[in-house]
Amino acid sequence: MPGTKGQGEVAGGMAGAIRVLYVDDETSLLDISKLFLEKAGDFSVTTASSAADAIRLLNHEHFDVIISDYQMPGMDGIKFLVGVRKHFGSIPFILFTGRGREEVVIQAINSGADFYLQKGGEPTAQFAELSNKIRYAVSRRRAEEAIRKSEEKARGSEEFLLAVITNAKEGIIVYDHELRITLWNRFMEELTGMKAADVQEKKAADIFPFLKEKGIDLLMQQALTGVTTESFDFEFSIQSTGKKGWARSIYSPNYDTHGTIIGVIAIVSDITERKRAEIELRAANEQIAAAEEVSRSRYDELKQNQQILRQSEEKFRDIFDLINDGILINEIDPEGRLGKFVDVNSVACRMLQYTREDLLAHGPLDFVTGYHSRSFDEILGELTSNGHAIFEIEHRRKDGTIIPIELNVHVVSLQGRQVAISVIRDVTGRKRMDEKLRERTSQIRALIDNLPFDTWAMDCSGRYILQNKASVGHWGDRIGKYPCHIPLPADLLEHWQANNQRALRGETMRGEFSVPVKRGVRTYDEIIAPICVGDKITGITGVNIDITERKTTEEALRQANRNLALLTNITRHDINNQLVALNGFVDLLHEKIHDPALEEYFTWIFQVSTRISSMVQFTKTYDAIGETAPVWQDTRTLVDTAAKEVSLGKVQIKNDLPSGTELFADPLIVKVIYNLMDNAVRYGGKITTIRFSVEERDGAHVVVCEDDGEGIPAADKERIFDQGFGKHTGLGLTFSREILNITGITIHETGTPGKGARFEMTIPKGTYRFR
């Protein structure tokens, strides 16, 4: 039965091959055709000696493609084609015949033949062309069938169609009307090594210059006019990814729903393996041809071999010159010294600006500058041990300019002698990009270093990988180290590490923390955020902004708000008491003096008293307005200023406070100093001297006011700060303590009764400094 052997082969392990039904009434031609086609490895051929036999096979079996002769008894190839189209649909159909009349070709195409191929000529080329037609007819039909089936199944679902295109076993590219890439499926990513995101919205000719060089861009332009075009087999090499191979493509117009051409659809087939198979097939065919020539005369054999050799050399030269990189081949003498070039390709000539003849008169050392990216001994050792090395050098071109070169050297044996085959690539562009990257990195580093606050980054293990100058200045150089190496309180370190871990999980953390330093405590506002590269977290970054002064100010203002109400209330109380006394004395005086000439003055006195009382009452409403924030004040100047306001008499002020020291306090602190002096003068008795000094105690500073008067009785040392204590009104020590407390300054009396009073004002860390 026709085709029995072929079907057995399919069942025996060729189930993945393209199934071919070959119909011809010449059985010898069927046998040789089956032999040639199945030699490629991707075809399973079933033969039939007539159209009737073929139709019987088609009724029971599936085939991917049909090859048919034209002139056959009973039913010719055209009638067979018409019957196939009528009963078996769109199976790819190739008319392979010795009849070359034009009317037969036209009739075949009009009847639905996919390709027409005329028999005759050199067998290897004949069947290679037939194999090519089979693959492309099947690939095109499979793509069309896949799209048709996906459209039927998904009913126009764009997501399903995209999945089909993405997972197609052929490359599919969609271009817009400007030939910019709008779709690039997974097959194309694997074929070229370039992701869809790298080529999206870019023109293919800009990304792949070889498309213009090979004229393929013209085929795309033709497709925009409504013509489906097919490229020849072309070789590609993508420098950026290192991918290379062979491909063939079909370009068809892409219509919208109104029938308007909106772009081009390309179907790209990877024929690299086929090309390799063709090379192997060509070699096998040459062996067969050589075996057949044994029976012929020696002369014919020699002539045939010479022709094959010449074609092989021409093919090698074409490939050698068309490759994108420069190739230099030079001799190596028995002592390992580099000799002259024995061959160079045209790319190397253009790159170095020399003719081929000029280069063949020199060796590789005649063009190098002496620069090597690695030591010469290291390169030589690698070539000696491995026979291969990659490194960078500099070449001097004919015009004197120097270009950086990446050199890929292989030491091989060629025709019984050692040679070095060097693939050279001009990396000027890459060097420029590297330099721009270094410059950009330096700019970013400078920007980070000039930030006025701590900036840092850690990797996923929690190790420091970046610090700016401010961070190094505050915390020391921590690159390569972990937070646990920083001398911090255990609770603060634990809290900080917890925030770092939350940031590594994708959260942005913000908070405040305080750290003890040499001169007090510093408070920071910290922000920690994840570093994301795409969807992956690669580390964290943070900034620490010193807000110590702001926090001190805020706390002082809060304390002021708490105490100002008390201060104004007591002040109003004292003034009202004085007004009561004043009004009483004026009343007594008014009763004793009955002089009509003075009545007007008494009236004015009462009016003034009434206005003062109204003003005091007004302050009760106004006491929350116009509050003044604490400021840094010169301690020595405060004493000098207060001393000018006190009636000292014979009492001397000794100011031992150092120049250039400041404390952070409410502006009313000068009244505190005044009150201490005034009380000392009023109640000191035998007092002669009031002395101001500063002491350092447990990291804090203590400003001392002491005198040599009678001192404070032990029972009154704390009572003197109570409201209403004492003989005299005014600000009083109650006010003094509250004013100082606005910025956390405490005051205590520590003197010895009978030897003088001593008031100690303890200034907390961070609120005393040296200018």
Highest mean pLDDT pick, 414-428, 607-621, 644-658: 644-658
pLDDT tens per residue across span 28-45: 888 888 888 888 788 999
Is the full-model pTM beyond 0.75? no
pLDDT > 80? residue 307: no
Q: Is the pLDDT of residue 196 over 60?
A: yes
> What DSSP line would sit under 542-572, residue for residue?
EEEEE-HHHHHHHHHHHHHHHHHHHHHHHHH
Beta-carbon contacts of residue 594 (< 8 Å; ≥ 6 apart): none
> Given this model, what pLDDT does residue 9 score?
37
Reply yes or no on whether the pLDDT at 620 is more than 70.
no
Condensed to tens digits (0 to 9), the pLDDT of residues 214-236 reads 888 888 888 899 888 888 888 88
What pLDDT does 259 receive?
A: 83
DSSP 441: H
216 vs 763 pLDDT, higher one: 763
Q: How far apart are CA 124 and CA 495, in angstroms?
A: 78
What is the percent of the chain where pLDDT is above 90?
21
Tokens representing 110 are: 């009009």
Residue 764 has a pLDDT of: 92
Taking the C-alpha atoms of residue 739 and residue 749, their distance in angstroms, rounded to an integer, is: 16
Instruction: Decide if pLDDT at 302 tops 80.
Output: no
Q: 369 Cβ partners below 8 Å, 6+ apart?
A: 393, 394, 395, 396, 402
Cβ(48)–Cβ(7) below 8 Å: no
- Rounded CA separation 684/648 (Å): 12
> What integer is the mean pLDDT of 747-758?
93
For residues 241 and 188, the answer to whether their CB atoms sit within 8 Å is no
Q: What is the pLDDT of residues 241-266, one digit of tens each?
A: 888 889 888 988 998 888 899 999 99
418 or 745: which carries more pLDDT confidence?
745
Which pLDDT does position 706 carry in this prediction?
A: 96
Range in 136-145, 176-185, 326-335, 609-618 the model is least confident about: 609-618
Range of weakest confidence among 79-93, 617-631, 714-728: 617-631
Residues 6+ apart with CB under 8 A from 304: 289, 290, 293
For residues 204-210, give the mean pLDDT: 84
Q: Directed axis angle between helix 548-592 and helix 732-741, to 10°?
A: 160
Q: Residue 439 corresponds to which tokens in the numbers above?
A: 């410059």
Q: Provide the pLDDT confidence category of residue 618 given band limits of 50, 70 and 90.
A: very low
For residues 502 and 302, the model is more confident at 502
First-to-last CA distance in the chain?
111
Q: Name the pairing type of β-strands 464-467 and 454-459.
A: antiparallel
**Given this model, what pLDDT does residue 624 score?**
34
pLDDT of residue 319: 66
Token code pair at residue 10: 């399919």
Tokens of 95: 């008319």
Note the pLDDT of residue 42. Answer: 87
Lowest-confidence segment of 382-386, 458-462, 542-546 by average pLDDT:
382-386
Q: What is the pLDDT of residues 678-689, one digit of tens each?
A: 999 988 889 999
pLDDT value at 590 more than 50: yes
Cα atoms found within 13 Å of the Cα of residue 531, Cβ hemisphere only:
13
